[in-house]
Amino acid sequence: MHEYAVTKSLISIAVQEARKAGASKITDIKLVIGDLSTIVDESVQMYFDIISEGTIANGARLIFKRVPAELCCKACGHRFNKPRQGFTCPLCGHYGVPTGVGKEFYIESIEAE
């Protein structure tokens, strides 16, 4: 459910920035979302379609760019993308810990007319 609040803020920021640039219509919004952010693309899209009605963002295309979660092995220091299951280092078999990469959620760009 946190996607509602996040999407509402996303629209507010996009509309504010587009208006500052003198735009009357937003056509595309590129989002960067880390796999550890717990943001679900489909939920953001659903809320966007509803909340953006009546704004200059209505009808804009959302472009989702996913960032894989990165781990660092506690034993050998190897950095690797988190496997689908578990946290095991592909080099030595020990456990990796999150590096912070993969928690992103931000607007990378806004296209407007």
- Residues belonging to the binding site for Zn(2+) are 73, 76, 89, 92
Q: What is the CA radius of gyration of the chain?
A: 18
Annotated binding site: 2, 73, 76, 89, 92
b/e 69-86 (16+ beta carbons within 10 angstroms → b)? bbbbbeeeeeebebeeee
Query: Any residues with CB less than 8 A from the CB of 44 and at least 6 apart, and which?
Result: 3, 6, 7, 10, 31, 62, 64
Instruction: Output the known binding site for Ni(2+).
Output: 2
